[in-house]
């Protein structure tokens, strides 16, 4: 069922209320995103028991699945448009992580027939929670799944198989980052994907292509994640206006622009340029000195010399 307060069928969040009680584990979810999840009013609703206490067991597994069916229309980590806060799907995903689903419940999500978003959140759960060496066991049978859906609101449609492979091949997912897969397991997984005839390169954004880490073209305020990170006292991952290290490509691009403005090279030839500049400055100083030495005061020698006697009195 939708939240008590609705906006066209979607829950309205109070992003920074009292945080819901958690187990204390991160489940591999990035700090800024996790803080926004547990502080949201919607997540508190998911944790609320029948007696109304927030620290109770909250909704059971099947009730959470019904929430996905009723409310979730994309699987990005952040709310779309001008809204600010963690998305409905990731609030439910984190609640699944806190409940520690059984293998039977995970397979129920992955093979669900009613909504592709239920399946997508199941695959996200596997990517966050399961060990890197177990990912192929959970995901390989779905590499050729032809069901289509859009990971973003109003975005490009991809097959479920493309989406699953992209989760395994990419470290970044829209504006967040996945837990690192051990290198040995990652190589084995990539090789297995190649052996099955698929590309070993991820497309990004759940198979849609591109990246959202430094992109503000998705209709939301630029770097919503960074603006939220300032309120919870965290530094967000990646670039954007809210802080963090500027990516190396951006630094190179800004340096090139500075070089164009100055009209002089940077880096290896910088020392030679400074030497030439000092030499030119020295020549200018010498030229000015010679001009001062050769200067002779102007002496009026015309019919107005008779007025000099008046000038001398002053």
What does the pLDDT read at residue 21? 75
What does the pLDDT read at residue 190? 95
- The conformational region for residue 219 under phi > 0 = left, psi -120 to 50 = alpha, else beta, is left
CA distances for 300 relative to 2, 172, 303, 313, angstroms: 98, 82, 9, 17
Look-up of token digits 């996945």: 178
Q: How many CA atoms lie within 13 A of 207 on its CB side?
A: 22
Q: pLDDT in tens for each of the 314 residues of the chain?
A: 334 444 444 554 444 456 677 778 889 999 999 999 999 999 999 988 654 555 557 889 999 999 999 999 999 999 877 667 899 999 999 999 999 999 999 999 999 999 999 999 999 999 999 999 999 999 999 999 999 999 999 889 999 999 999 999 999 999 899 999 999 999 999 999 999 999 999 899 998 987 665 444 444 444 444 545 545 555 444 444 443 444 445 555 555 555 555 555 555 566 666 667 777 777 777 777 766 666 555 555 555 555 555 555 44
Rounded to 5 degrees, what are φ and ψ at 292? -65, -40
What does the pLDDT read at residue 267? 54
Q: Would you list the domain boundaries of the chain?
A: 6-245
What does the pLDDT read at residue 243? 39
What does the pLDDT read at residue 89? 95
* Angstrom distance (rounded) from CA 215 to CA 174: 10
Of the candidates 45, 61, 69, 62, the one whose C-alpha atom is nearest the C-alpha of residue 120 is 69
What does the pLDDT read at residue 48? 82
What does the pLDDT read at residue 221? 40
Please check whether residue 54 is in contact with residue 48, taking contact to mean a CB–CB distance below 8 angstroms: yes
Residues 237, 215, 224, 82: what is their CA dihedral angle, to the nearest 10 degrees?
-160
What does the pLDDT read at residue 195? 95
What does the pLDDT read at residue 188? 94
* Angstrom distance (rounded) from CA 44 to CA 61: 16
């Amino acid at each position: 069922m939708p939240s008590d307060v609705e906006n066209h069928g979607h829950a309205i969040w109070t992003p920074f209320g009292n945080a819901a009680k958690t187990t204390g584990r991160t489940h591999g979810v990035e700090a800024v995103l996790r803080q926004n999840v547990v502080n949201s009013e919607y997540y508190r609703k998911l944790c609320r028991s029948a007696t109304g206490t927030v620290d109770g067991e909250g909704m059971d597994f099947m009730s959470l699945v019904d929430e996905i069916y009723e409310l979730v229309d994309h699987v990005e980590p952040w709310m779309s448009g001008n809204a600010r806060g963690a998305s409905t799907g990731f609030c439910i995903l984190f609640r699944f992580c806190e409940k520690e689903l059984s293998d039977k419940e995970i397979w129920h999500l992955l093979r669900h027939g009613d909504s592709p978003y239920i399946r997508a959140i199941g695959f996200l759960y596997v990517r966050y929670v399961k060990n890197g060496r177990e990912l192929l066991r959970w995901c390989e049978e779905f590499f050729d799944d032809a069901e289509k859906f859009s990971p973003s609101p109003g975005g490009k449609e991809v097959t479920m198989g493309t989406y699953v492979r992209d989760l395994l091949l990419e470290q970044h997912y829209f504006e967040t980052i996945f837990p690192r897969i051990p290198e040995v397991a990652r190589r084995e997984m990539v090789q297995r994907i190649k052996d099955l005839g698929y590309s070993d390169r991820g497309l990004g954004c759940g198979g849609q292509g591109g990246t959202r880490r430094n992109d503000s073209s998705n209709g939301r305020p630029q770097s919503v994640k960074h603006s939220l990170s300032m309120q919870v006292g965290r530094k967000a991952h990646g670039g954007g206006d809210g802080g963090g290290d500027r990516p190396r490509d951006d630094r190179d691009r800004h340096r090139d622009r500075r070089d164009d403005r100055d009209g002089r090279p940077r880096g290896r030839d910088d020392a030679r340029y400074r030497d030439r500049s000092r030499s030119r400055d020295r020549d200018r100083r010498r030229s000015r000195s010679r001009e001062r030495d050769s200067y002779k005061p102007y002496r009026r020698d015309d019919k107005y010399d008779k007025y000099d006697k008046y000038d001398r009195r002053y």
